[in-house]
């Protein structure tokens, strides 16, 4: 027997090709019905198909879990409306041509609707037809259109926030690029769907109006044709043509009403994991007390004299019986599976580890007016700048920081933002989208109109100005930056400042894994054989705490390998590593400079500090308070003088003093860098620019 699959079939019988041709063929057939005459038998088939199609659409809408499950509904609505109008045109032709022959001139379906549904009374038929049109036009279609319009607006308003959440999850590594692309497409499809439904509701309203006009034209035209062309008396012509017209109208309006109902259900339902039937039954008929109270009210009404007692008492009995069955079912379930039910109820009420939300290492919260800065669809540049900041940090500092989790915060001012580290605020500021920040570096030639403020990163005086003033601000000596650059610069400054806190165990492990790709034996011999991961983290933390980058991990690990046997103290190992990195530290502070202009301590002050630190290993507890105050004040003045000269504030001290003195001065003069003599390479010349403690 020959095996046949889709690949061996001719193109014209390929199932996929046939499905693709179904739409164009249907449109061509619908348009043909408006032009070509159709016999009554074909009209019966098409009217039956129209009714079946409307029922299918209604059932699909009932069993859809969310609106996008039936995303083709607006197109289906247009096609069914066009089909009904085409059938109206085709049936009108038959009614006017053959209506004089009797009520079955346009087929059995129209005859059945004209006789069976309205009892052959054309007055009743007209009333029923008008009522159906009013229900469809005024109630269902208008309500569904309004819901679709509001839903489209809400979907569009929510798009920036949803896009921002997707981008934040993508930057945080929670989802992949493919999943992010799929979510963005779904958000766009949702907005397009409700917008299309809002427009598609106009088709149904137009169809209802066209149905009324077609009915009036058919009745008037039928009377003229029947009386003048076929010599029928007025009563006979009115009866034949009116019944045929009413039957034609009803056979079109009932499917239209079904389709409109489906449209209302699609746009009005809330997306859940249940279809509409499960939702209604589970939420409306699941509470026995509701059924009992309703049955009591209906039963009481049935006892009132003059009321139809049988109908009211029968319905009350049904409601009480249903309530009893629900309670009995719940009781049996509770008896047969009591332990499981109790455990489930307790688990549903008790807290679990799922309620513990992890704290973002780095977070950026923005007010609602700043959402556009992190929304790609609105040309927001901040996300791109943040990715650039992380790459720059990894290149300069030596490890990849945690992703920045971005979210909106309605508790903030509209233009405010907040930067957090492990859930704690480390910086805040305000930005003005669409404006520029003109920063005064200290030597500007004039003033500018705008909103006075401070640069959030460095605290310099600044002004938010209009974008048209950019050239004027630059000519006056201002440093000009847009809102995204201001926020990104602030974030970059804080990340650099808190680099040590960003280096956790996982980052250290990733550093070792990265180094192991090029030097696997080195990593294997040192960690954890000679030094533990926790001590290595402390050493790296100490280096970053004093703004020393850790890009040269090979030298750091090799130095630890040479000295880990003599000491496991993290502070001692840090000092040793700093000596090994001395050339890099000096290059970082004095790029392309042979002579280093530094601050130094008076020799007498050095001896006093050495004696004090040797007597108390805590670092500064042994320093006399007056001397400590003088040391901090003079160091601050010298540091400010160095900065005014454009020189890096660096103090050179003996190795025994370096660590303790750096820790002592860090809170007062955070920009000061304290180096030991051993950290300066022999190729560099040293010139003491200022001596601290000369008058002590």
Q: For position 389, which CATH number holds? A: 3.40.30.60
Q: Is residue 617 situated within a structural domain? A: yes
Q: Which two tokens stand for residue 313?
A: 């008492």
* Bigger pLDDT: 154 vs 94: 94
Range with the poorest average pLDDT among 17-21, 382-386, 457-461: 17-21
- What is the torsional sign of CA 415, 421, 425, 428? negative
- Give the single-character DSSP code of 546: T
Q: Is residue 585 situated within a structural domain? A: no
Number of domains the chain is built from = 5
> If pLDDT is split at 50, 70 and 90, which confidence band does 172 have?
low
Q: Quick one: pLDDT at residue 469?
A: 92
Q: How far apart are CA 111 and CA 108, in angstroms?
A: 5
Taking residues 390-404, report their average pLDDT: 91
What are the angstrom distances between the C-alpha of 656 and each of 106, 171, 385, 415, 652?
A: 110, 45, 43, 50, 12
Q: Quick one: pLDDT at residue 695?
A: 56
pLDDT for residue 74 is more than 50: yes
Same domain, 142 and 223: yes
pLDDT for residue 343 is more than 60: no
Taking residues 194-210, report their average pLDDT: 72
- Top mean pLDDT of 200-214, 267-281, 433-447, 570-584 is at 570-584
CB 256 within 8 A of CB 137: no
Same domain, 247 and 297: no
Q: Quick one: pLDDT at residue 363?
A: 92
Q: Quick one: pLDDT at residue 496?
A: 92
Same domain, 517 and 374: no
Q: Is residue 316 situated within a structural domain? A: yes
CB 506 within 8 A of CB 359: no
Q: Is residue 453 situated within a structural domain? A: yes
Range with the poorest average pLDDT among 87-101, 266-280, 346-360: 266-280
pLDDT for residue 512 is more than 80: yes
pLDDT for residue 50 is more than 90: no
Domain containing 522: what range?
A: 503-580
- Give the single-character DSSP code of 358: P
Taking residues 349-353, report their average pLDDT: 68
Q: Is residue 5 situated within a structural domain? A: no
pLDDT tens digit string along 51-68?
888 888 888 877 777 777
Same domain, 610 and 631: yes
Same domain, 322 and 252: no
Range with the poorest average pLDDT among 219-228, 526-535, 567-576, 600-609: 219-228
* Bigger pLDDT: 235 vs 476: 476
pLDDT for residue 673 is more than 80: yes
CB 497 within 8 A of CB 545: no
Same domain, 497 and 507: no
End-to-end CA distance of the chain: 109
Cβ partners under 8 Å of residue 508, min gap 6 = 533, 536, 537, 540
Query: What pTM was estimated for this model as a whole?
Result: 0.53
CB burial string 325-356: b at 16+ within 10 A, e below: ebeeeeeeeeeeeeeeeeeeeeeeeeeeeeee
Taking residues 352-365, report their average pLDDT: 82
Same domain, 168 and 259: yes
DSSP letter for each residue of 598-646: EEEE-HHHHHHHHHHHHH-TTSSTTS-HHHHHHHHHHHHHHHHHHHHTT
> If pLDDT is split at 50, 70 and 90, which confidence band does 41 have?
confident
Same domain, 166 and 84: yes
Q: Are strands 451-454 and 424-430 parallel, antiparallel or unpaired?
A: unpaired
> If pLDDT is split at 50, 70 and 90, which confidence band does 612 have?
confident
pLDDT for residue 551 is more than 80: yes
Which of these three, 555, 580, 605, is where a domain ends? 580
Average pLDDT value over all residues in the chain: 80
Q: Quick one: pLDDT at residue 675?
A: 94
At residue 419, φ and ψ (nearest 5 deg) are -110, 130
Range with the poorest average pLDDT among 121-125, 390-394, 412-416, 418-422: 121-125
Looking at the DSSP bridge assignments, the partners of residue 453 are: 462
pLDDT for residue 622 is more than 90: no
> If pLDDT is split at 50, 70 and 90, which confidence band does 278 have?
low
Please name the helix (run of DSSP H) or strand (run of DSSP E) that holds residue 82, with its range, or none: helix 73-98
Q: For position 674, which CATH number holds? A: 3.40.50.12790
Q: Is residue 278 situated within a structural domain? A: no
Please name the helix (run of DSSP H) or strand (run of DSSP E) that holds residue 169, with its range, or none: helix 142-171
Same domain, 92 and 210: yes
CB 267 within 8 A of CB 151: yes
Which of these three, 474, 501, 528, is where a domain ends? 501
Same domain, 91 and 181: yes
Q: Quick one: pLDDT at residue 5?
A: 47
Most distant CA atoms of the chain, gap in Å: 135
Q: Which two tokens stand for residue 339?
A: 């332990």
Q: Quick one: pLDDT at residue 4?
A: 46
- Give the single-character DSSP code of 403: P
Please name the helix (run of DSSP H) or strand (run of DSSP E) that holds residue 558, with its range, or none: helix 553-563
Give me the percent of the chain exceeding a pLDDT of 90: 27
Same domain, 488 and 524: no
Q: Is residue 242 situated within a structural domain? A: yes
Q: Is residue 493 situated within a structural domain? A: yes
Same domain, 230 and 292: no
> If pLDDT is split at 50, 70 and 90, which confidence band does 442 have?
confident
Q: 115: closest CA among 243, 215, 238?
A: 243
């Amino acid at each position: 027997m020959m095996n046949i699959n889709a690949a061996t079939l001719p193109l014209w019988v390929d199932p996929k090709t046939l499905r693709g041709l179904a739409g164009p063929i249907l449109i061509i057939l619908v348009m043909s019905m408006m032009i070509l005459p159709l016999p009554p038998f074909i009209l019966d088939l098409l009217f039956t198909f129209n009714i079946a199609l409307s029922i299918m659409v209604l059932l699909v809408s009932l069993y859809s879990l969310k609106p996008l499950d039936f995303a083709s509904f607006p197109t289906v609505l247009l096609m069914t409306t066009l089909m009904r109008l085409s059938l109206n045109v085709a049936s009108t032709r038959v009614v006017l041509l053959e209506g004089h022959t009797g009520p079955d001139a346009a087929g059995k379906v129209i005859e059945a609707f004209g006789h069976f549904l309205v009892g052959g009374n054309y007055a009743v038929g007209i009333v029923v037809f008008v009522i159906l049109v009013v229900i469809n036009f005024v109630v269902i279609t208008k309500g569904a259109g309004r819901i679709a319009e509001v839903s489209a607006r809400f979907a569009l308003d929510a798009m920036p926030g949803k896009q921002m959440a997707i981008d934040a999850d993508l930057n945080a590594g929670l989802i992949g690029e493919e999943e992010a692309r799929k979510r963005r497409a779904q958000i766009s499809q949702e907005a397009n769907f409700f917008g299309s439904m809002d427009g598609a509701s106009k088709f149904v309203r137009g169809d209802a109006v066209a149905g009324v006009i077609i009915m009036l034209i058919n009745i008037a035209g039928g009377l003229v044709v029947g009386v003048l062309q076929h010599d029928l008396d007025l009563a006979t012509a009115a009866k034949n043509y009116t019944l045929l017209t009413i039957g034609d109208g009803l056979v079109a309006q009932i499917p239209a009403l079904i389709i409109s109902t489906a449209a209302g259900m699609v746009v009005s339902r809330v997306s859940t994991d249940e279809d509409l039937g499960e939702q209604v039954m589970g939420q409306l008929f699941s509470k026995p007390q509701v059924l009992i109270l309703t049955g009591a009210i209906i039963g009481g009404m049935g006892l009132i004299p003059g009321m139809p007692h049988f109908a009211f008492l029968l319905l009350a009995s049904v409601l009480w019986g249903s309530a009893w069955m629900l309670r009995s079912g719940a009781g049996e379930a509770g008896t047969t599976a009591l332990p499981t039910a109790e455990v489930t109820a307790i688990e549903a009420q008790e807290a679990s580890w799922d309620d513990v939300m992890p704290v973002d290492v780095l977070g950026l919260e923005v007010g609602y007016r700043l959402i556009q800065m992190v929304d790609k669809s609105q040309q927001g540049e901040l996300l791109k700048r943040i990715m650039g900041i992380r790459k720059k940090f990894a290149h300069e500092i030596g490890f990849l920081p945690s992703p920045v989790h971005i979210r909106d915060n309605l508790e903030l001012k509209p233009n405010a933002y907040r930067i957090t580290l492990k859930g704690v605020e480390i910086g805040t500021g305000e930005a003005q989208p669409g404006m520029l920040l003109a920063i005064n570096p200290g030597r500007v030639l004039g003033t500018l109109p705008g909103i006075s403020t401070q640069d959030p990163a460095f605290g310099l005086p600044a002004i938010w100005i209009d974008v048209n003033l950019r050239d004027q601000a630059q000519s006056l000596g201002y440093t000009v930056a847009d809102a995204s650059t201001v926020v990104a610069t602030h974030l970059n400054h804080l990340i650099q400042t808190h680099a040590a806190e960003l280096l956790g165990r996982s980052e250290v492990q990733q550093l070792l894994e990265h180094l192991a790709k090029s030097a696997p034996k080195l990593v294997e011999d040192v960690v954890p054989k000679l030094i533990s991961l926790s001590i290595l983290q402390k050493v790296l933390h100490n280096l970053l705490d004093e703004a020393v980058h850790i890009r040269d991990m090979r030298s750091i690990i090799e130095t630890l390998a040479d000295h880990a046997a003599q000491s496991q103290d993290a502070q001692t190992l840090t000092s040793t590593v700093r000596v090994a990195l001395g050339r890099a530290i000096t290059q970082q502070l004095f790029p392309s400079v042979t002579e280093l202009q530094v601050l130094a301590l008076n020799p007498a002050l050095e001896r006093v500090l050495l004696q004090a630190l040797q007597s108390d290993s805590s670092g500064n507890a042994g320093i006399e308070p007056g001397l400590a105050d003088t040391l901090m004040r003079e160091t601050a003045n010298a540091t400010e003088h160095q900065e005014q000269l454009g020189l890096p504030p660096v103090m050179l001290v003996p190795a025994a003093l370096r660590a303790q003195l750096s820790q002592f001065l860090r809170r007062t003069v955070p920009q000061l860098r304290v180096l030991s003599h051993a950290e300066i390479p022999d190729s560099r010349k040293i010139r003491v620019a200022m001596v601290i403690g000369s008058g002590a």
